[in-house]
Amino acid sequence: MNTDKILNEYINKEKEEMHSPFLRNRIIEQIKVENSFYEVTLWQKVMVAASITIVAISGMLIGSMYNSPLNDNGRLSVNDSQIENFTIIADESE
């Protein structure tokens, strides 16, 4: 009950206050400015598309220039649990 009384007093106090008559207009103009959309020109769209294309093509060119060296120096990947059998096979092949 006490909070209701405090709230009602506050609301009545706010209603009694006189506000500037131009306050409403200033608030509405500020809202219009904030809600206005930025117009994107044709040149901006073209430049964004061109930059994306340049980045994609340069990435493909850089990727195609890379040659991985062949590491085929007779290496063999062997399961360690059967390494003893490998030595027997290696001795027989010589």
Three-state DSSP string of 24-55: HHHHHHHHHHHHCCCCCCHHHHHHHHHHHHHH
Positive or negative, the CA dihedral 74, 75, 77, 80 is positive
Query: Do residues 86 and 78 touch, judged by C-beta distance below 8 A?
Result: yes
Q: Around 82, how many Cα atoms within 13 Å sit in the side-chain half-sphere? A: 7
Check residue 51 and give its pLDDT: 97
Per-residue pLDDT of the chain (94 residues; tens, 9 = 90+): 688 889 888 888 888 777 777 888 888 888 887 766 777 889 999 999 999 999 999 999 988 887 766 655 566 666 666 556 555 555 555 5
pTM for the model: 0.37
Q: Supply the pLDDT for residue 72.
A: 57
What pLDDT score was predicted for residue 55? 96
Q: What is the dihedral of CA 27, 29, 30, 35, to 10 degrees?
A: 120
